[in-house]
Structure 1
Amino acid sequence: MDNLNLISNFAEFKELKNIDKSTMIGVLEDVFRHLLIKTYETDENFDIIINADKGDLEIWRNRIIVEDSQVENPNQQISISDARKLDETYEVGEEVADEIKLDSFGRRAVLSLRQNLASRILDLEKANLFEKYSERVGEIITGEVYQVWKKEILVLDDEDNELILPKSEQIPSDFFRKGDTIRAIVSKVEMRNNSPVIILSRTAPEFLERLFEQEVPEIFDGLITIKKIVRIPGERAKVAVESYDERIDPVGACVGMKGSRIYSIVKELRNENIDVVNWTANTQLLIQRALNPAKISSITIDEEKKTASVYLKPSEVSLAIGKGGLNIRLASMLTGYDIDVYRDVEEEDVDLQEFSDEIDQWIIDALKGIGCDTAKSVLEISPDDLVRRTDLEEETIREVISILKSEFE
C-alpha cells in the first residue's frame, strides 16, 4: 500500500531509539486502530498486517455479503453485486476482505496519524530511558561533558542521553570543560514535566564505594566488605572495612603496595584524603581507630546519649581534631558517637573550669573550643595565637593569662 513514508519513518525511530520489534509493531498497530475507530467508529472487522523487516503495512476490511437491498451498515456489509465485482464466485453470507488504502483516509487524518506516531515513540523512549536508568541507580557511568552551566553540568552518555550533574553533587575542586570525560554514579531518576531527569553525583559515599570495588579485586569478589563510608567531599573520607578471611589484611589490600590501589581513587576525588579503618564491633576500639593517627589515653562512653569522652596527651589533641576539625567530625560520623576530646590533666595542672569564679564562662568556653581545657594548655600558647584562634580581645587574653599564672606562683 502507499504508506506515505510512515513505515520508513518508523524504521528511523526504531534505529534511533533502540526499540524492539514487538514493541514497534504494537505501537504502529495501536496508532492505526485509533485512526480506524475515528474514521469507521469501530476496528473490530479490520485486520492490520505489519511486516516490520520490509517496512510493509496493509489494512484489510472484512465485510459480510448480503442482498443488494439489505445493506444497513456499509462498513460491515457489502451487497452481492459489489462483491461479485471483486470475484464472480461470491455468494450471500460469505465474507469479503478488501484492502483499505491509506490515502483514502484523507490528508488531514494522515498528518494526525504521523503526529500521533511521533508522540507515541517519544513517550515510549522516555519510559525506556526512565526504566533503564532506574535500574542503574548506584552504578558508576562514564560520560562526556557537553555543556557547563553555573548550577549544573550537562553530560551525554554513550547513547547521547542527557544526564545532569548538579553543582551540589560536584566535588568543590571539580573543574570540567566541554568534551572532558567524567565519571559519576547515578544518584536518582525522577520525572519532571513527563520527562525523565537522570541526576548524577560525585559526592555520594556510594561513588567512593564503587571506586573501591573497581580498584580492589578483594572487595569486588566479596572477600572484603565495606561496612561504612563517611565523606567530606574533596577534603577527607573514612572507609571502614572488614574481612572474613583471617589471611587477608583488609586495610593493606585496600591501600595496595605503596598506595598503588588507593592512589587512583584519591586522584579521581581531587586529592581527597582517604583513611581506611579496620572495622570492629568493639565501640571503644572503633573510636580509637577512627581518630587515628592520634594516640588515645582513655575513653569514657555513654551508650544512652551516644557520646564518647576521649582523653589524650596535650601533644595528641591537634591530631585527633585534625585540620579544620575534619578528623573528629568524620570519626563521629563513622562511629555514630558524639566525640569530645579532652587533655589528660597532669597533677600540677588545673582544670580551666576551676577558674569560673574569676573568668567568665563564655571566655572559658571559647578557650575550650580550641582544645584548651586546662591552665597549662592555655599558657603553652602565645598570647597572639590565643587572640587569633579564639577571636577574644587582646586585653581579655592578657587578663586570663595573668589569672592563670598567679595559680602557679
Structure 2
Amino acid sequence: MSKEILYVVDSVSNEKDVDRSVIFGALEAALAMATRKDHDEDIDVRVAINRDTGEYDSFRVWTVVEADELEEPAREITLEEAHKTDPNLQIGDTIEEELESVSFGRISAQTAKQVIIQKVREAERAKVVDMYEDRIGEVLSGIVKRVERGHVFIDVGAGVEAIVPREHAIPRENIKNGDRLKGLLIEVNTLNRGPILTLSRRDPKFMIELFKIEVPEISQGFLEIKGAARDPGQRAKIAVFSHDKKLDPIGACVGMRGSRVMSVANELGGERIDIVLWDENPAQFIINAMAPAEIESIVVDEEKNTIDVAVDESQLSQAIGRGGQNVRLASELTGWEINVLTTGEAEEKNEAEAMAYVKEFEEKLDVDEDLAVLLVQEGFTSIEEIAYVDRSELLAIDGFDEDLVDELRGRSRDALLTQLIAKEEQLEDNKPSQDLLDLALVDDKLAYRLADKGIRTRDDLADLATDELMALIDMDESAASELIMQAREHWFE
C-alpha cells in the first residue's frame, strides 16, 4: 500500500504540475476522513504519511480548553484532565493518541478523488494568485469565453480565467465569444470561489496604460500623463506634459495620421478622446481642458477650489457639452469645480461680489462708499488683506497718504479682533462636555461636530434615536447605534 500511495502522489503531481506536498496533504485528509467514519463519535483525527516511504500513522487528537468552554467532549479535553498526562500543557495545545490506521484501499475512491481535486484546485489557484498579485495596474489581454448578464469572462492564458464585471464594462459595448479583449487588472481574488482576476475597462487608468503601450515616448520618460477622465464609451480627456521642449506632447499621442490615438479609441469602443496640454497654472490648464470651447475670462477661487469660466453665449452649449459632459470631464481632469457662465452672467456676478465687498468695507471699516469702491477697484476683497498687506501697496493708491493707510490698517485689525472674540465665544458656547469627550468612540473632531448640532453632553447623545443621529452626522446605521448604546451604558450601571 505504501508503494501505491507514492505512485498516486507522483502521477497526480506530474499530471497536474502540483507540488507533491499538496497531494500528500489530500491523501492524509482522505485517510483521516475514513478513520473518523469507523468511530461512533465525531472524533478529530490526524494522519501523517512518511514522504519517503509512503507508510503512515493515525492519531486521535484532543484540543485543550477551559472546563467551562468544553463543548465537544469527543474532540476537546479540559486543562485539568490534560495536566494528568502532561503538566506543561496549556490552553490551545493538543494531545494525541495513536490509532489503528485504516487500509489505504478502504478509502472511498470518490472521497479520495474529491479531496485530491479540491487540494489541486486550491494549489493551482494559489499559484495563479502568486503570479498576478504583484501585477495589479497592468493591462491583460485574453479571449472572451462567454458573456453572462453583462459579465464578461476571459481566458488570459494558462487556463486562468478573468472577469470584467458589468459595472467595469464599457456600456453598450458589443462583445462576442472569441473576441480578443483587454482590461486593467484591478483585483486578485484570493478566495476559493469565482474567477481569480478582476479586470476593468471603465477605469481611467486603463486608458492611461493603453497610451503607454501605444506611445513609446512615455515609457522613455520624454512624455508624462498627468491625469485622465472618462465617460466610458463616449468621451474622455487626458492631460499630457513634455519633459523635452522639442517634443510636441499632443502630436506624439495623436501619432501619424492619428494612428496612436485611434488605436486607443478603438480598444475603448470608439470613445472620443481629447488630448489636453497640462499646465502648472490652474487657469491655463482649465482653459486647455475646456477645449474646443473658447474662454473669454476666468476667475479662480483657491479657497473654495472653484473656477468661474465665462464664455460667449454662442459657445455656451459647446463649453458645457451634451448633458454637461465637457465641463464634468474637465472638472474631473483638473480637480477644480468649474462653473460655466455667459459673459453677461459673469459680469453680473462680478458686480454683485464687488458690491458685497464694498458693503463689508463700509460696515466694518466705517468708511464712505467712495473709499470702499476705490479699495475694491484696487483688488482688495477682504479685511485681512488690508490689515496685513505691505504698507507700500496701500500707499501706492492714488490719494492715499501715511495717515490714511495707518488708520485703515488699524481699523482692519480691530475688526478682525472683534470677529475672533465673537468666534471664540461661539465656540465656548458650543463646547462639548467632558463626559462626551470621555466616550471611547468619540474623538475630539466628532465631539465638536456633535456639539455644533446641539449634542453637548453624554445624555444628549444617549437620548437620540439611531435615525436622528444619522440625520445629524454622516455615519452608517451600525456605527450610530453602537455610539448611542455606549452613551447609554451609564444608565444601566
TM-score (norm 2): 0.53
Tell me how far apart the structure 2 counterparts of residues 43 and 183 of structure 1 sit (CA, whole Å): 46
Q: Which has the higher contact order (CA 8 A, sep 6+)?
A: 1
Secondary structure (helix, strand or coil) at the match of 1:333 reads: helix
Tell me how far apart the structure 2 counterparts of residues 106 and 114 of structure 1 sit (CA, whole Å): 13
Tell me how far apart the structure 1 counterparts of residues 236 and 342 of structure 2 sit (CA, whole Å): 25
Residue 60 of structure 1 deviates from its aligned partner by: 9.0
Secondary structure (helix, strand or coil) at the match of 2:132 reads: helix
The corresponding residue for 2:256 is: 257
Residue 322 of structure 1 deviates from its aligned partner by: 2.0
The corresponding residue for 1:167 is: 166
The corresponding residue for 2:233 is: 234
Pairs within 5 Å for 1:378-393: none
Secondary structure (helix, strand or coil) at the match of 1:284 reads: helix
Secondary structure (helix, strand or coil) at the match of 1:305 reads: coil
The corresponding residue for 1:308 is: 307
Tell me how far apart the structure 2 counterparts of residues 34 and 176 of structure 1 sit (CA, whole Å): 44
The corresponding residue for 2:181 is: 182
The corresponding residue for 1:7 is: 7
The corresponding residue for 2:442 is: none
Alignment equivalent of 2:51, drawn from 35, 42, 48: 48
Deviation per residue, 1:100-152 (Å, 9 max, x gap): xx995442278755554333222212222233232222211111111112231
The runs of at least 4 aligned residues of structure 1 exceeding 3 Å deviation read 1-16, 28-39, 41-44, 57-61, 102-106, 109-118, 191-197
Structure with higher strand content: 1
Residue 187 of structure 1 deviates from its aligned partner by: 2.1
Tell me how far apart the structure 2 counterparts of residues 210 and 5 of structure 1 sit (CA, whole Å): 50
The corresponding residue for 1:289 is: 288
Deviation per residue, 1:286-333 (Å, 9 max, x gap): 110000112212110111111111112222222211233211111111
- Using a 3 Å threshold, how does the CA distance of structure 1 residues 277 and 318 change in structure 2: closer, same or farther? same
Deviation per residue, 1:35-70 (Å, 9 max, x gap): 89998x9989x8532xxxxxxx64499xxxxxxxxx
TM-score (norm 1): 0.64
1:135 correspondence with 2:134? yes
Runs of 5+ in structure 1 lacking a partner?
50-56, 62-101, 355-409
- Using a 3 Å threshold, how does the CA distance of structure 1 residues 10 and 171 change in structure 2: closer, same or farther? farther
Aligned letter for 2:225? Answer: I
Tell me how far apart the structure 2 counterparts of residues 13 and 224 of structure 1 sit (CA, whole Å): 49
The corresponding residue for 1:221 is: 220
Pairs within 5 Å for 1:22-37: 24-30=19-25
Residue 280 of structure 1 deviates from its aligned partner by: 1.5
The size of the alignment, in residue pairs, is 297
Q: CA RMSD in A?
A: 3.4
Is the 2:30–2:107 contact (alpha carbons within 8 Å) kept by the matching residues of 1?
no
Tell me how far apart the structure 1 counterparts of residues 155 and 300 of structure 2 sit (CA, whole Å): 50
The corresponding residue for 2:153 is: 154
> Does 176-185 or 279-288 show the bigger shift?
176-185
Residue 12 of structure 1 deviates from its aligned partner by: 4.4
Is the 2:2–2:54 contact (alpha carbons within 8 Å) kept by the matching residues of 1?
no
Tell me how far apart the structure 1 counterparts of residues 292 and 242 of structure 2 sit (CA, whole Å): 22
- Using a 3 Å threshold, how does the CA distance of structure 1 residues 111 and 103 change in structure 2: closer, same or farther? farther
> Does 260-269 or 319-328 show the bigger shift?
319-328
Residue 244 of structure 1 deviates from its aligned partner by: 1.6
Pairs within 5 Å for 1:97-112: 105-108=104-107
Structure with higher helix content: 2
Deviation per residue, 1:161-199 (Å, 9 max, x gap): 222112221112311111221111222123456555422
- Using a 3 Å threshold, how does the CA distance of structure 1 residues 172 and 29 change in structure 2: closer, same or farther? closer
Tell me how far apart the structure 2 counterparts of residues 122 and 248 of structure 1 sit (CA, whole Å): 51
The corresponding residue for 2:339 is: 340
Tell me how far apart the structure 2 counterparts of residues 274 and 143 of structure 1 sit (CA, whole Å): 24
Tell me how far apart the structure 1 counterparts of residues 326 and 56 of structure 2 sit (CA, whole Å): 76
Tell me how far apart the structure 1 counterparts of residues 55 and 190 of structure 2 sit (CA, whole Å): 37
Residue 4 of structure 1 deviates from its aligned partner by: 4.1
Secondary structure (helix, strand or coil) at the match of 1:222 reads: coil
Is the 1:47–1:59 contact (alpha carbons within 8 Å) kept by the matching residues of 2?
yes
Tell me how far apart the structure 2 counterparts of residues 13 and 162 of structure 1 sit (CA, whole Å): 22
The corresponding residue for 2:276 is: 277
- Using a 3 Å threshold, how does the CA distance of structure 1 residues 314 and 127 change in structure 2: closer, same or farther? same
Is the 1:6–1:114 contact (alpha carbons within 8 Å) kept by the matching residues of 2?
no
Is the 1:230–1:334 contact (alpha carbons within 8 Å) kept by the matching residues of 2?
yes
